[in-house]
Amino acid sequence: MVVDAISLRFSLVLDQIFALMPREVEVNQPLSNSPPREVSPRRIPNRVNSSFAARLRRDPTSTEESDEPRYSVWYLLYQVTRLFCWVGCPPVPELITRKVAFHPRKAKENYFLMGKPTHEGEEIVLDSLHEIKKMKSVHLAPARKPHRALEHNYAWLQDQRSSEVFTTKTKQGSQLLGLWVKSNCRWVQSHSRSNRVILFSDSNASDLGHWIHQGAILGKSLKGLADFLCADVVGYDYSGFGYSTGTACERNIYADVEAIYNHILKTRGDDVEIVLMGFSMGTAASIDLASKQPKKLVGLVLVAPFASAFGATSKDPDNVGCFCLNRFLSIDKVAHITVPTLLIHGSKDWISIKNSHALERRLPNPVEPLYVEGRDHCDILDDPKVAERVWEYVFNETRVQKQ
């Protein structure tokens, strides 16, 4: 993941360098003796980060003046040097990882934390978690007002029978915002496993605002996941994401998931059964916690996992070398996981599917994995086969706690 983030930044810089390089052909001079091609009257719009292909498609015989600035080679060299300095200074692996691997969302960017000072008072948008103590009730709301026809999809956020906002403190000192989504499945209330909870850990560039939609089953909905699996689902924001305080870094996300796990234990008691579910970066946090073999853990679901930061795009995730910048070493932790573990991966994911293969080989108790043909990193959770496989796993393949 670190490699991919660095590659993305360099590709953008190189794209800009290509765009800013002076043309070697006069704008009125055709490339050959052949007659010039007819130029479409519609102009191709210029974009700051347009692709190489779009640049090459531009007609070199066009007499249209380019509005793009032209800078010297020294300026371009300065830009590249500045990028190197930003990434590598100071040369501390933890700080470098923090810069390129995490893209935290700011508070009120994707969702609002709403509160009522009194039961009859008007709702206000809270600026921080410290204001929660002054409120009689709090709930989440989408940052953009939904269409009138879709407002019912968010009504559950204001119903305390369906969701509950909570906060908890980590051992690193961060204050986390969590959302406890309650299942309305009637089957749960009469079933012996009614005290089962799914702890969901998100990716490195999302927050709770991405998962409060009710429409999808798994794709973008904690509520849909709770009702489909007939189990409560707990989501949260990492340190530095959304309203959560602290800084986004590898050490903090491990402390974050542990703090939320302990909150579930404290809330639900000794008979609770917890299933960890991680997506992308969340798989690293879930693997780290599962490797410590916490009590009441009955299962682990890993969606689009990576063996390590440099293994994410490596052809051989098992052997990426002992490099000091390699972080999120899940490949070294999975051997200590004793609960049944489900791996899910898309064939077109930018995180090589070989990462799941490498993890499966080292897991002591893997169940039948699901490798979805044609799915990538962004739409893997939208596939119906994923929902069906997770349901089958949660009900039939997780560990049964001894009473």
Is the pLDDT reported for residue 55 higher than 50? no
Which pLDDT score is estimated for 311? 83
Q: Are strands 341-346 and 370-372 parallel, antiparallel or unpaired?
A: parallel
Q: Is residue 108 classed as helix, strand or coil in its secondary structure?
A: coil
Mean of pLDDT values over 61-74: 58
Rounded to whole angstroms, what are the CA distances from 181 to 114, 185, 273, 285, 317? 17, 12, 16, 20, 36
The pLDDT of residue 179 is: 97
At 18 the pLDDT is 47
Q: Is the pLDDT of residue 132 over 90?
A: yes
Q: What is the mean pLDDT of residues 139-157?
A: 73
Q: Is 391's pLDDT higher than 80?
A: yes
- What pLDDT is stored for residue 31 in this prediction? 43
How many residues does this entry show for the chain? 403
3-state secondary structure of 323: coil
For residue 265, what pLDDT is reported? 97
pLDDT at position 46 over 90: no
* Highest mean pLDDT: which range of 159-168, 337-346, 393-402: 337-346
- The one-character DSSP state at 223 is H
Model confidence pLDDT, tens digit, residues 161-206: 789 999 999 999 999 999 999 988 766 555 545 789 999 999 998 9
Whole-number pLDDT of residue 76: 79
Burial 51-90 (b: 16+ CB within 10 A, else e): eeeeeeeeeeebeeeeeeeeeeeeebeeeeeeeeeebeee
pLDDT at residue 334 is higher than 70: yes
Which of 59-63, 86-90, 359-363 has the lowest average pLDDT? 59-63
Give the pLDDT mean for 3-13.
50
Distance, CA of 221 to chain centre: 14
Report which DSSP code applies to 290.
H
Q: Hey, which of 86-90, 120-124, 315-319, 340-344 has the most confident mean pLDDT?
A: 340-344
Average pLDDT rounded to a whole number, residues 292-302: 97
Q: What is the percent of the chain where pLDDT is above 90? A: 50
> Quick one: CA dihedral 362, 363, 369, 373, positive or negative?
negative
At residue 28 the predicted structure's pLDDT band, cuts being 50, 70 and 90, is very low
Average pLDDT of the chain?
80
Indicate the pLDDT class of residue 120, thresholds 50, 70 and 90: confident
**241 against 102, higher pLDDT:** 241
Q: What is the mean pLDDT of residues 367-384?
A: 94
Position 73 scores a pLDDT of 79
Rounded mean pLDDT, 99-105: 78
Mean pLDDT of 342-346: 98
Q: Is residue 59 pLDDT above 60, yes or no?
A: no
What Cα–Cα distance (Å) separates residue 316 from each residue in 157, 291, 311?
44, 23, 7
Q: Please give the average per-residue pLDDT across 41-67, as a whole number.
A: 46
Listed by start position, the domains of the chain span: 161-398
Mean pLDDT of 362-372: 97
The domain covering 161-398 belongs, at the CATH homologous superfamily level, to Alpha/Beta hydrolase fold, catalytic domain (3.40.50.1820)
Q: How confident is the model at residue 93 (pLDDT cuts 50, 70, 90)?
A: low
**For the chain, percent helix, then strand, then coil, each to nearest 5?**
35, 15, 50
Over residues 223-237, the mean pLDDT reads: 93
